[in-house]
Structure formats: C-alpha cells, structure tokens
C-alpha cells in the first residue's frame, strides 16, 4: 500500500504541484481513507520526502543506463533530456520551484544529491566529447560541468522563466543548444544541427 500511495502522490504532485495537492486529494484519487495514508506517512512532508527520493532514484538509474550505452556525447545529452522530461511530466507544475518555495529543506537535500550525480555524469560526457572530437579540447571540464548544473537548476526558476513565456520543453531545448554551441567543434556542430532538425520535425 505504501508504494501505491507513493506512486499516486507522485503523479498528482508532478501534474498539479506539491503545494496544491492535499492528503485528501490523494485519498480521494485512490478511493481510500486519509487515515490509511497516515498509517504509512506521518504527514505530508514525510510523503513529499518519499516521493522526491523515489523519483530521484528512478531518474538516476535511468541516466546511468543511458550513459552506460556510450552513445556519442551530444546524442547522450538529448537522450537524458528526453528521459528526464518524460518522468517529470514535462514539469507542467514547476515541481522544483514549488519544492524550493514550500519545502526548502527537502529541496536543499535533493539539490545536493542532484549535484553529485550530475557532476560525475556531465564530466564524463565532456571528457568523452573532447576525446571523440565533438567538443573543443581546450574547455575547462570542471567549470563547464558546474555552469551546466547551474543552468539546469536556474531555468526551472518560475520567476525568471515564467511557464507562459517559456514552456519547459522548448526551454530545455534552447538551454541544451546554448550549452552545446559553446563547447562543440565544427564536427560537433554538424551533429548538433542534425539533432535540432530532428527535434523540430518531431515537435
């Protein structure tokens, strides 16, 4: 039952927002009493902690599998973006922003975990991109990895990038293109252009 509650809560939180969804909403969605939820979670904060931790694990494992396939560096980033957006429901409810605003302690813990995972993944991507000739060989890997992380976190700030002006799907595409154009070689830019064209055709 605990797992079912977590799955249902995840769906509701991602679609409607961490703030908007109440324990009553989750109970009604599942056709159970609120008391049943409280036998597994002491309060909503405990449930939000479980949901974010569970989602983080699923996404981290998925990213690990994508990285293990060792595709070219540019293709890998697009594949990771597609996978993450799919699992976060295209971030319709700005989950990271709501988490930061209403559950700052949970957000801080999650951000630290995200940083640790992303640094390893992004630095590996950058090094392989340099070795394969896709990325310039004079980039500062440590700096670019941290700037990339800062950007990924920053574009999810709803005050800086309101969803009505910047839908998350196109925002992620623009950010990824911006990141790659700054580090690609002419060979890498050719590959990047193919992905941009493919993305535009499929959207």
Q: What is the pLDDT of residue 17?
A: 85
Over the chain, what is the mean pLDDT? 89
The first and second tokens of residue 18, run together, are 């961490």
Per the structure, the complete domain to which residue 69 belongs is given by: 2-202
If one counts the domains in the chain, the total is 1
Q: What is the pLDDT of residue 67?
A: 87
What is this structure's pTM?
0.85
Is the pLDDT at 89 greater than 70, yes or no? no
Q: How far apart are alpha carbons 168 and 181 in whole angstroms?
A: 20
Higher pLDDT, 100 or 23: 23
Q: How far apart are alpha carbons 27 and 146 in whole angstroms?
A: 41
CATH of the domain at 125: 1.10.357.10
Q: How far apart are alpha carbons 188 and 17 in whole angstroms?
A: 38
Q: What is the pLDDT of residue 37?
A: 95
Q: What is the pLDDT of residue 92?
A: 60
Is the pLDDT at 104 greater than 60, yes or no? yes
Percent of the chain with pLDDT over 90: 58
Section 94-117 average pLDDT: 88
pLDDT band at 90 (very low <50, low <70, confident <90, very high): low
The first and second tokens of residue 86, run together, are 């799919």
The first and second tokens of residue 143, run together, are 């700096």
Section 155-176 average pLDDT: 87
Query: What are residue 53's phi and psi, to 5 degrees?
Result: -65, -45
Cβ(60)–Cβ(117) below 8 Å: yes
Q: How far apart are alpha carbons 69 and 71 in whole angstroms?
A: 6
């Amino acid at each position: 039952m605990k797992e079912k509650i977590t799955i249902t809560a995840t769906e509701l939180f991602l679609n409607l927002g961490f703030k908007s969804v109440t324990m009553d909403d989750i109970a009604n969605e599942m056709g159970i009493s609120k008391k049943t939820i409280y036998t597994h979670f002491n309060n909503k904060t405990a449930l939000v902690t479980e949901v974010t931790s569970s989602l983080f694990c699923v996404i981290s494992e998925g990213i690990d599998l994508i990285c293990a396939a060792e595709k070219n560096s540019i293709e890998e980033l697009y594949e990771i973006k597609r996978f993450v957006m799919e699992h976060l429901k295209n971030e319709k409810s700005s989950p990271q922003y709501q988490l930061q605003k209403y559950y700052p302690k949970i957000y801080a813990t999650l951000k630290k975990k995200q940083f640790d995972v992303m640094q390893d993944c992004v630095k590996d991507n950058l090094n392989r991109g340099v070795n394969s000739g896709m990325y310039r060989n004079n980039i500062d890997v440590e700096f670019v990895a941290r700037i990339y992380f800062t950007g990924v976190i920053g574009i999810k700030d709803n005050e800086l990038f309101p969803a009505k002006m910047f839908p998350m799907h196109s925002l992620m595409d623009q950010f990824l293109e911006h990141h790659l154009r700054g580090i690609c070689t002419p060979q890498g830019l050719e590959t990047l252009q193919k992905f941009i064209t493919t993305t535009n055709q499929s959207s």
